[in-house]
Amino acid sequence: MSMARVRALRSVEIGMNNLAEARRFFTDVWNLAPVGEAAGAQLFRGTGAFHHILAVRAAPQPALIRVTFDAADRATIDGLHAQVKAHGLKTIDPPAALRQPHGDYGFGFKDPEGRNIAVVCGVSDHADAADQPDRPRKLSHVNLNSGNSDATFAYLRDALGFKLTDTTRRLRFFSCNGDHHSIVLGFAGGPTLNHIAFEMPDFESVMRGAGRMRDDGHGIEWGPGRHGPGNNVFCYFLGPEDMPIEYTAEMLQVDDNYRVGTPENWKWPLGRLDHWGISAHPSERMEQAGLRIHFTGGGWRLDDWR
């Protein structure tokens, strides 16, 4: 039997202390669109088809509650569940029927480093999915710090079907569809959130987004630049409560012929961190923010989605 694979990074759920401010920010500044509330979380969509790409719920401090992947159908969900169990992960519920807008079937589990992961299928997605200038289309990737990158790498590959596309001195990049990466894994720290990246329809929208952020008091913390692995344009910011977020565009599309890069392939000349070479290192504040957001203990459970 062939391996079951997830086919997209669908959404993330975060906890924020000031829900009203988060709603204002993600709607008016970050340019997502609110699409109601479910199971106590406020939901926001991009212009793409996914019902929502961000869920925000009230929490004592900023937290990462869950990362949700999309699967093609129930058979794939069952296959993924079997692979996750076969990989030895024990904090996992059996696949179950879900309520919309979470999907019609799925399961939740904790990954090898305790991150909360959900895999779902059959979500009641939107029919309108055309790009709009200045509005994020979808999540591009989630970058996760890692204290045991080898263990998480093995699980992403063997349990969820991700493919490694590049390794640098500091990061591993993983693909689950045409995008060069949907998950990035660090080699340092614990299993905290490094940043959440939202994909804009074009480079111009990234830059105008940076202007909107500046108007709202959030200067650029890193960028603008063009990354090595993935060749995507980037600007990094700190959102409300110092939530680390990125606008990106022009992600490299890959297929099975992509040659997996090694740290040797991604050595920059002294003082450079990207293809353009116009921006300095990430700000100290950005580096710190990328270490302090933890996964919640119980976020792997999908009880309130059933």
Report yes or no: 165 and 254 within 8 Å, Cβ to Cβ: yes
Tell which positions 21-60 bind Fe ion, by CB under 5 A. none
Q: How far apart are CA 180 and CA 105, in angstroms?
A: 27
Nearest to 40 by CA among 27, 61, 30, 55: 55
**Where would I find the beta strands (DSSP E) of the chain?**
8-16, 33-38, 41-45, 54-58, 63-70, 96-97, 105-110, 116-121, 138-144, 163-167, 171-175, 183-186, 193-199, 222-226, 233-238, 244-249
> With respect to Fe ion, which residue has the nearer C-beta, 32 or 71?
32
CB of 229 to Fe ion, least distance (A): 10
CB of 216 to Fe ion, least distance (A): 21
Instruction: Cis check for the bond before 101: say yes or no (omega within 30 of 0).
Output: yes
> With respect to Fe ion, which residue has the nearer C-beta, 57 or 226?
226
CB of 196 to Fe ion, least distance (A): 9
> With respect to Fe ion, which residue has the nearer C-beta, 87 or 180?
180
CB of 211 to Fe ion, least distance (A): 20
How many CA atoms within 13 Å lie on the side-chain side of 93?
21
> With respect to Fe ion, which residue has the nearer C-beta, 111 or 246?
246
Instruction: Give the Cβ contact number of residue 255 at 10 Å.
Output: 7
> With respect to Fe ion, which residue has the nearer C-beta, 8 or 123?
8
Question: Rounded to a whole number, what is the distance in angstroms from the first to the last CA of the chain?
Answer: 30
Tell which positions 62-121 bind Fe ion, by CB under 5 A. none
SS3 sequence, 46-111? Answer: CCCCCCCCEEEEECCCCEEEEEEEECCCHHHHHHHHHHHHHCCCCCECCCEECCCCCCCEEEEEEC
Q: Binding pattern to Fe ion, positions 262-291, x when CB under 5 A? A: ------------------------------
Q: From the list 246, 247, 251, 282, which residue makes contact with Fe ion (rule: CB under 5 A)?
A: 246
> With respect to Fe ion, which residue has the nearer C-beta, 91 or 288?
288
CB of 173 to Fe ion, least distance (A): 10
Instruction: Give the Cβ contact number of residue 97 at 10 Å.
Output: 12
> With respect to Fe ion, which residue has the nearer C-beta, 38 or 273?
273
- Rule CB under 5 A: is residue 221 a binding residue for Fe ion? no
Binding-site size for Fe ion (CB under 5 A) equals: 2
CB of 20 to Fe ion, least distance (A): 28
Place of tokens 């058979």: 75
> With respect to Fe ion, which residue has the nearer C-beta, 13 or 246?
246
CB of 79 to Fe ion, least distance (A): 29
| Maximum Cα–Cα distance across the chain | 54
CB of 278 to Fe ion, least distance (A): 17
Which amino acid would we find at residue 130?
A: A
CB of 195 to Fe ion, least distance (A): 6
* Closest CB to Fe ion: residue number: 197
- Rule CB under 5 A: is residue 197 a binding residue for Fe ion? yes
> With respect to Fe ion, which residue has the nearer C-beta, 115 or 227?
227
> Which residues of this chain interact with Fe ion, rule CB under 5 A?
197, 246
